[in-house]
């Protein structure tokens, strides 16, 4: 251990605070930019609040009242600052030890984020891990740079101690100036990052406040309650209705568009008799209907999980089109999002009895920002890229000949009916299962036509029908369950479904591009 003078230790503590402060704030900035619901600091705070004994929470609420959150954040900042200062001192005394300490804090932050988002990584994917990792990485790099500079200064100053005053101020002075300049730059960068982060979070707070004032309208036509026979009593089976936080998210938006509901407008343009412009209050006043619809991504591989089922609340698209008056000749609606994304949907699918809707509600809540707040399209039976425009701002009535949508210019088909498909979710492929009866379960879908049968084939043998739950509707997926007696050894099990018209799922193996994957989902089981 090398002995350091008191001022050196104070400088090292400051280095620690600046390094960790900058790292955390920069990570907050990136998280805030990506999505209003991503934040390592909030996740760590939330986890702390979760694990603190109830007595302490009661005491905090009693002593600080409604400012308890504010004081909690101040307290958290203090604890982080003290730990960061200690890490700085440690790094000065023992090279790399401080960095390891910061790395450990980062790891704890990562665990807190994981604990908070348990099971819901699906929504924002790996993005939730970005914030703690980035914070740790930036803090470590900056701490290393600053402490190395500090060391350089102390080393020169120390080695020159025996020389006379005049000859030692020169190099030591240079090193000192370099160090101070680094400290100054870091402080400025930290302050700037803090300002930008505060600005982003401020506008998001305004969005949150405006959002909280909104009330999800009542459905004029509510969805019928789900029959008990639609939900199989099978442990671990995919839930029939996908919770919003677990709903797959696919879009081209790097940063989730955060739309202030007070500024939002929906326009109907193009081949119409009367253009329409409508604000959110007007939209929410329209007669709403509620439907369970299973939407899917064209990029979903056979057996994949880019599919989800929700109870959507919305206004039928055909109603707004009728108000606008569609001119003869039109055959497509080009929907546009606030971020420029467009989808081309056949006019037919927007106006027929399938109930395409401008959705504002998802499973009883306003749309989450990630899923298109304040309004998006939901068109039963079509893949998302040709129908499910989120952050919807415009419906242009047009023709396939005149307009081309975002993905149609990028090698994907411009008509996108969802291919009927099925999936084995239980057990996971590659599982070892004990000898005796093996229970399997999964999902099947054939939107617009419904599923009439699900069948399994073991090791290429005959197709055997399995138990099929009742469907919520033709537009939703259906759960299935089976019990197989398998011999010891390795087995391949495949699944297929039959739709409501008797059409058997296609065995032709196709990749997602250009119009959706096909083929049978197969799993391997080791029975022993
Ligand atoms: N604005 C916008 N809307 C979009 C997309 C997009 O990239 N931008 N992607 C579409 C695609 S490809 C799919 S599969 C669905 C996914 O909807 P979800 O993220 O709510 O599951 O949204 C559609 N709507
Ligand atoms: Mo998609």
Domains of the chain: 5-203 (no CATH), 233-410 (3.90.420.10), 421-527 (2.60.40.650)
pLDDT in tens, 254-266: 788 989 999 999 9
In tens, the pLDDT along 54-74 reads: 777 777 777 776 667 778 888
Residue 166 clears pLDDT 60, i.e. is over it = no
Q: How far is the CA of 291 from the centre of ligand 1 (A)?
A: 19
Residue of 35, 340, 390, 414 to test ligand 1 pocket, by largest number of atoms within 8 Å of CB: 390
- Of 46, 36, 391, the C-alpha closest to 200 is 36
**Ligand 1, closest atom to CA 308?**
21
Mutate to test the pocket of ligand 1, among 242, 388, 405, 413 (most ligand atoms within 8 A of CB): 388
Quick check: bond before 427 cis, omega within 30?
A: yes
Atom of ligand 1 nearest to the CA of 247: 21
Buried b (16+ CB within 10 A) or exposed e, 369-403: bbbbbbbbbbbbbbbbbbbbbbbbbbbbbbebeeb
Torsion sign over Cα 511, 517, 520, 525: positive
Residues 6+ apart with CB under 8 A from 39: 28, 31, 32, 131
Q: Is the peptide bond before 514 cis (omega within 30 degrees of 0)?
A: yes
User: What atom of ligand 1 comes closest to residue 337's alpha carbon?
Assistant: 1
d(CA 471, CA 504): 18
Residue nearest to atom 13 of ligand 1 (CA): 384
Ligand 1 pocket, 412 CB below 6 A? Answer: no
Q: Measured between alpha carbons, how far is 478 from 472 in angstroms, rounded to an integer?
A: 8
Mean pLDDT, rounded, for 342-366: 96
Q: Mind listing the pLDDT tens digit for each residue in 131-142? A: 889 999 999 999
The preferred substitution site among 242, 243, 250 for testing ligand 1, maximizing ligand atoms within 8 Å of CB, is 250
What SS3 state is found at 17? Answer: helix
Cβ atoms 379, 423 nearer than 8 A: no
Distance in Å, CA 298 to ligand 2 centroid: 5
Per-residue pLDDT band at 428 (split at 50, 70, 90): very high
Beta pairing partners, 276: 268
Does position 182 have pLDDT exceeding 60, yes or no?
A: yes
| Bridge partners (DSSP) listed for residue 219 | 288
* CA of 296, closest atom in ligand 1: 14
pLDDT in tens, 117-159: 654 554 555 777 788 899 999 999 999 999 999 999 988 877 6
Give the C-alpha separation, 51 to 49, whole Å: 6
Judge if the beta carbon of residue 123 lies within 6 A of ligand 1.
no
Q: Are strands 392-398 and 265-270 parallel, antiparallel or unpaired?
A: parallel
- Ligand 1 atom 12: residue of nearest CA: 385
Q: From 123, 247, 384, 387, give the residue whose CB has the most ligand 1 atoms within 8 Å, as the site to mutate.
A: 384
Q: What is d(CA 473, CA 393) in angstroms, rounded to the nearest whole number? A: 29
Highest mean pLDDT among 23-27, 123-127, 376-380: 376-380
pLDDT of 1: 44
Beta carbon of 159 within 6 Å of any ligand 1 atom = no
What kind and span of H or E run contains 31?
helix 6-34
How high does pLDDT run on average in the chain?
90
CA–CA separation, 224 vs 44, rounded Å? 40
Q: Is 115 exposed, middle or buried (0-12, 13-18, 19+ CB in 10 A)?
A: middle
Res 225: pLDDT: 93
Please classify residue 477 by burial: count the beta carbons closer than 10 Å to its beta carbon, then call 0-12 exposed, 13-18 middle and 19+ buried.
buried
The b-or-e profile of 200-215 (16+ CB within 10 A means b, else e) is bbeebeebeebbeebe
- CB-based contacts of 429, cutoff 8 Å, min separation 6: 522, 523, 524, 525
The backbone region for 162, taken as left when phi is positive above 0, alpha when psi lies in -120 to 50, beta otherwise, is alpha
pLDDT, one tens digit per residue, over 329-345 is 999 999 999 998 999 99
CA of 366 to the centre of ligand 1 (A): 17
Report pLDDT for 220: 94
C-beta of 341 in contact with ligand 1 (< 6 A): yes
């Amino acid at each position: 251990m090398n002995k350091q003078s008191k001022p050196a230790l104070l400088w090292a503590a400051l280095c620690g605070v600046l390094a960790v402060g900058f790292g955390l704030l920069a990570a907050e900035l990136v998280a805030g930019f990506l999505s209003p619901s991503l934040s390592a600091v909030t996740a760590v705070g939330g986890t702390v609040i979760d694990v603190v004994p109830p007595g302490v929470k009661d005491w905090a609420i009693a002593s600080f009242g409604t400012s308890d959150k504010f004081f909690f954040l101040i307290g958290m900042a203090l604890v982080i600052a003290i730990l960061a200062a200690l890490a700085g001192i440690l790094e000065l005394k023992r090279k790399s030890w401080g960095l390891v300490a910061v790395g450990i804090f980062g790891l704890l932050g990562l665990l807190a984020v994981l604990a908070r988002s348990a099971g819901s990584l699906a929504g924002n994917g790996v993005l939730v891990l970005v914030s703690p990792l980035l914070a740790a990485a930036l803090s470590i790099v900056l701490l290393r740079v600053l402490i190395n500079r500090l060391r350089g200064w102390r080393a020169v100053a120390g080695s020159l101690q025996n020389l006379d005053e005049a000859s030692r101020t020169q190099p030591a002075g240079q090193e000192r100036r370099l160090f101070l300049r680094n400290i100054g730059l870091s402080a400025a960068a930290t302050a700037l990052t803090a300002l930008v982060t505060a600005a982003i979070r401020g506008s998001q707070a305004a969005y949150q406040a405006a959002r909280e004032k909104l009330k999800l309208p009542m459905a004029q036509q509510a969805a019928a309650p789900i029959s008990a026979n639609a939900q199989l009593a099978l442990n671990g089976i995919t839930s029939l209705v996908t919770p919003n936080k677990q709903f797959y998210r696919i879009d081209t938006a790097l940063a989730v568009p955060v739309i202030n509901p007070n500024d939002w407008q929906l326009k109907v343009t193009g081949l119409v008799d009367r253009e329409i412009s409508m604000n959110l209050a007007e939209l929410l006043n329209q007669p709403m209907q509620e439907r369970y619809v299973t939407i899917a991504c064209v990029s979903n591989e056979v057996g994949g999980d880019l599919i989800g089922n929700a109870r959507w609340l919305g206004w039928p698209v055909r109603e707004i089109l009728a108000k606008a008056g569609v001119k003869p000749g039109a055959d497509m609606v080009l929907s546009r999002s606030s971020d420029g994304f467009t989808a081309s949907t056949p006019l037919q699918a927007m106006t027929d009895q399938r109930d395409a809707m401008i959705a504002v509600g998802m499973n009883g809540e306003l749309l989450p920002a990630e899923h298109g707040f304040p309004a998006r399209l939901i068109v039963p039976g079509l893949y998302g890229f040709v129908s499910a425009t989120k952050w919807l701002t415009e419906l242009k009535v047009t023709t396939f000949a005149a307009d081309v949508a975002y993905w149609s210019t990028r090698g994907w088909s411009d008509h996108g009916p969802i291919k009927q498909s099925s999936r084995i979710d239980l057990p996971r492929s590659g599982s070892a299962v004990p000898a005796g009866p093996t229970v399997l379960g999964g999902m099947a879908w054939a939107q617009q036509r419904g599923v009439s049968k699900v069948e399994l084939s073991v090791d290429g043998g005959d197709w055997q029908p399995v138990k099929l739950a009742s469907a919520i509707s033709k537009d939703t997926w259906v759960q299935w369950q089976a019990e197989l007696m398998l011999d010891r050894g390795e087995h391949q099990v495949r699944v297929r479904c039959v739709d409501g018209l008797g059409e058997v799922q296609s065995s032709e193996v196709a990749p997602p591009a250009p119009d959706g994957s096909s083929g049978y989902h197969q799993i391997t089981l080791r029975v022993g």
